Amino acid sequence: MSRNLATARRLSGGARQFATIKADAYGHGAVAVAKALTATAHNSTIPSTSEKPRSAIDAAEFADGCADGFAKGCADNIADGYADGYADGFAVVTVDEALELRQAGIEQPILVLQGPQSADACNDMHHYQLWPVIHDMYQYQWFRQLAVRERLQAWLKVDTGMGRLGVLPHQANDLLAANHGVNWYGVMTHFACADEPDNPFTDQQINTFQSVRKPDHLVSSMANSAAVLAWPQARADWSRPGIMLYGCNPLDRALPAGVTLEPAMRVTAPLIAKKLLPAGAGICYAQTWFCPEDMPVGYVALGYRDGLPRSLDATATVCIEGHHCPVVGRVSMDSIAVDLRSVPDVQPGAEVELWGESAPIDAIANSAGTISYELLTSIRGRREYI
């Protein structure tokens, strides 16, 4: 993940990085991921966020800007690319997600993308030094009534066309022009079609965002993973890479030339049975697949109770001993059947990879008519961190 984050930083022109670890870090484990992307957990250093972020990585300038008490060795880490793989902050959706990180000892800024969902939550955000995103007028009023509001560094979210959370541009101008109520730190937006590099709507959103009258001392954030990869004009002070941190391509096409991402999750399950079935034998519920010849069929201990989509079609494969074996028949609650003709000598107990380095997650997502995000956040099982 750290190498994927370093790629995001490079493509962002050195902008600061909110590592997006919402939804339990897309199924990878939020606390474990946060610690893996925290420099201090590796006896390194992280940049100060008390000043406006640099526009590009510069080792000497960064060393001068490090917070008091941080070792000057951080400059050397940045110079060799090591520190590029650490997060400047983390982005989550809810206050509860943020509190889990704080209670685990994570000290970096934590951006709460949905902001507070109640007036009481505003006090929690102040107490735990969270960065709220204000996306609606009722939240703005809550913060105006907070006695310690001047100590909160809030972000204003502007709906530039996503049609989801965020105030409209004219409302943003009014809120940012007000000299009371909320201590603004930054302004942000989110893209609807950044995964389609040929879609002009992203340019429209960028132009709308740039038309907002943002005071010069505030920072800005636009780019999600797709924008980091395909829209250099969306560079700003902070980027918010998410799915790309976990090695998945969010674009509707191949990654740009020279860009590689490393899968962070590998899902495996054991082969628990094997039998030789005659030609014409039906496989699993509803008998949707029949053996075209006498053939070995294997059964893998993973099904839809474990988060594997029941909607897998005939293109789905798994990897066994380096061979891609088709999934045959319907996904059951506890198992799947696989065609073992390419590995006829494999025995029960063998490891079966559903996705990872040998079995791209996008392939199995396509066979289920879904996206990698859903698979990552749905899969369940015992985690082993390496």
User: What's the pLDDT at 43?
Assistant: 57
Q: Can you tell me the mean pLDDT for 185-193?
A: 98
Q: Can you tell me the mean pLDDT for 173-181?
A: 85
Using alpha carbons, list the distances in angstroms from residue 171 to 150, 165, 166. Answer: 21, 13, 10
For the chain, the first-to-last Cα distance in angstroms comes to 12
Q: Please provide residue 106's backbone torsions phi and psi, each rounded to the nearest 5 degrees.
A: -75, 125
Q: Can you tell me the mean pLDDT for 145-160?
A: 84
145 pLDDT band, cuts 50/70/90, is: confident
Question: Which of 331, 308, 327 lies closest to 318, judged by CA?
Answer: 327
C-alpha to C-alpha distance for 16 and 109, rounded to whole angstroms = 11
Sign of the Cα pseudo-torsion (11, 15, 16, 19, in order) = negative
C-alpha to C-alpha distance for 377 and 365, rounded to whole angstroms = 12
pLDDT in tens, 25-59: 999 999 999 999 998 766 555 445 544 443 332 32
Residues with a catalytic annotation lie at 22, 285
Helix, strand or coil for residue 78?
helix
| Cβ atoms of 346 and 298 closer than 8 Å | yes
pLDDT-wise least confident of 70-74, 306-310, 379-383: 70-74
Q: Can you tell me the mean pLDDT for 303-316?
A: 97
67 pLDDT band, cuts 50/70/90, is: very low
Please give the structure tokens belonging to residue 46: 């992280």
User: What's the pLDDT at 41?
Assistant: 62
User: What's the pLDDT at 334?
Assistant: 97
Q: Compute and round to an integer the Cα radius of gyration of the chain.
A: 24
User: What's the pLDDT at 143?
Assistant: 87
Residues of the chain with pLDDT > 90: what percent? 81
pLDDT over 70 at 76, yes or no: no
| Cβ atoms of 329 and 338 closer than 8 Å | no
How confident is the prediction for the chain on average, in pLDDT? 89
Place of tokens 């198992």: 335
What are the residues whose beta carbons fall under 8 Å from the beta carbon of 296, sequence distance 6 or more? 274, 275, 276, 277, 340, 341, 344
User: What's the pLDDT at 164?
Assistant: 97
Place of tokens 């860009």: 259
Q: Can you tell me the mean pLDDT for 351-359?
A: 96
60 pLDDT band, cuts 50/70/90, is: very low
- Domains, the chain, in order of start with CATH, read 2-246 (3.20.20.10), 267-378 (2.40.37.10)
E-only strand ranges, 158-222: 184-188, 219-221
User: What's the pLDDT at 64?
Assistant: 31
What DSSP string describes 27-50?
Answer: TT-HHHHHHHT-GGGGT------S
pLDDT in tens, 203-235: 999 999 999 999 999 999 999 999 999 999 999
pLDDT-wise least confident of 6-20, 43-57, 305-319: 43-57
pLDDT over 70 at 132, yes or no: yes
Question: Which letter does DSSP use for residue 177 in this model?
Answer: H
